[in-house]
Amino acid sequence: MQTDQCIGRVYLHSKPELNGEIEIGYGISGEYRNNGYATEAAKSVLQFAFDNIGLDALVAIVKPENIASRRVIEKLGFTHRGIRTVPDENGMECEFNYYRLSRNDQNRLKINNSKTP
């Protein structure tokens, strides 16, 4: 059954704490998690960011204990580039895993994925 209920969000924004790099972020309501919605929605936003906006790269930061979010980012092709300390949603300085995906990386992934049967 299809409804107009909002179950989550995906967004792009400039992250001052990361030198103004553009971050992709997402959140899905608890009862809808682990169904692939975050991956599917984020994949569409990535495509839009690279193909329509013309961005050269996107970053993502993930709390180390957030295994599900890390899986989403890795499925999208982002690579781990280290640890960054930035304020969390409550303004507390926190360590995050830092990931990056360039337009070239994403294009290679699209080509490689199209070759798999």
DSSP for 15-45, please give it: EGGGTTEEEEEEEE-GGGTTSSHHHHHHHHH
**pLDDT per residue as tens digits for the range 18-34:** 999 999 999 999 898 99
Q: Give the side-chain half-sphere CA count within 13 A for 8.
A: 20
Look at phi and psi of residue 19 and say left if phi exceeds 0, alpha if psi is from -120 to 50, else beta. Answer: left
Indicate the CATH number for domain 8-115.
3.40.630.30
Q: What pLDDT is stored for residue 113 in this prediction?
A: 56
Give the pLDDT of the chain (117 residues) as one tens digit per residue.
678 889 999 999 998 889 999 999 999 998 989 999 999 999 999 999 999 999 999 999 999 999 999 999 999 999 999 999 999 889 899 999 999 999 987 766 664 555 544
Domain boundaries, the chain: 8-115
Q: What pLDDT is stored for residue 81 in this prediction?
A: 97
Q: What pLDDT is stored for residue 116 in this prediction?
A: 47
How far apart CA 93 and CA 86 sit, in angstroms, is 5
